[in-house]
Amino acid sequence: MSYRSKFDIDLTNIPQVFSTTFGNLTVSLGINYNALGDFYTVDLYDNQGNQVIMGEKLVYGKRLWSNYVDPRIPSIDLIPLDESGVSKVCNKETFGKTVFLYIDTVVEGNG
Helix (H, G, I), strand (E, B) or coil at 5: strand
The per-residue pLDDT for 106 is 67
The per-residue pLDDT for 1 is 45
The per-residue pLDDT for 108 is 63
Smallest Cα–Cα separation from 101: which of 62, 75, 72, 67?
A: 62
Exposed (0-12), middle (13-18) or buried (19+): which is 59, by Cβ within 10 Å? Answer: middle
Q: Domain map of the chain by residue range?
A: 2-108
Exposed (0-12), middle (13-18) or buried (19+): which is 50, by Cβ within 10 Å? Answer: exposed
The per-residue pLDDT for 79 is 96
Q: What is the CA radius of gyration of the chain?
A: 14
Low-confidence ranges of the chain (pLDDT < 70): 1-2, 106-111
Give the CA distances from residue 87 to residues 11, 41, 84, in Å, rounded to whole numbers and listed in that order: 18, 18, 8
Phi, psi (rounded to 5 degrees) for 92: -65, -35
List of E strands, the chain: 2-6, 16-22, 25-34, 39-45, 51-57, 78-81, 100-108
